[in-house]
Amino acid sequence: MSNNRIEKFDHIGSLKDANQLQELALDGNPIFHLKGYFEFCISTCPNLKHLDLRKITPEMREAGGLKGADGKGKIGDDKGDTMSTEISPDKQPTGVLSS
């Protein structure tokens, strides 16, 4: 779905029904640069193994705030505040590509 002028999360909301989707490439679309893009994709498609040709690791899921150390909910501090889940595609962890 790369380079298709997808601009809003609403435009790809139906991906939630693709339970078996493991690879998704949306690079080249305006949505790729929106705040929360990474988190939206991995929460909408929890079975994704690759997003935009990058392997999704457990560390990336945790960095996105999708699960804490206990495997439940968002990562938070001892005051109950949750960390920001805003990771732009160019700020995601590096060294996660597999060949």
HEC string for the chain: CCCCCCCCHHHHHHHHHCCCCCEECCCCCHHHHCCCHHHHHHHHCCCCCEECCEECCHHHHHHCCCCCCCCCCCCECCCCCECCCCCCHHHCCCCCCCC
pLDDT, residue 57, reads 92
pLDDT, residue 63, reads 77
Per-residue pLDDT of the chain (99 residues; tens, 9 = 90+): 998 999 999 999 898 899 899 999 999 999 999 999 999 998 888 899 999 999 999 988 887 655 544 444 443 333 333 333 344 455 444 444 443
User: Which pTM value belongs to this model?
Assistant: 0.60
- Nearest C-alpha neighbor of 47 from the set 71, 11, 93, 15: 15
pLDDT, residue 68, reads 40
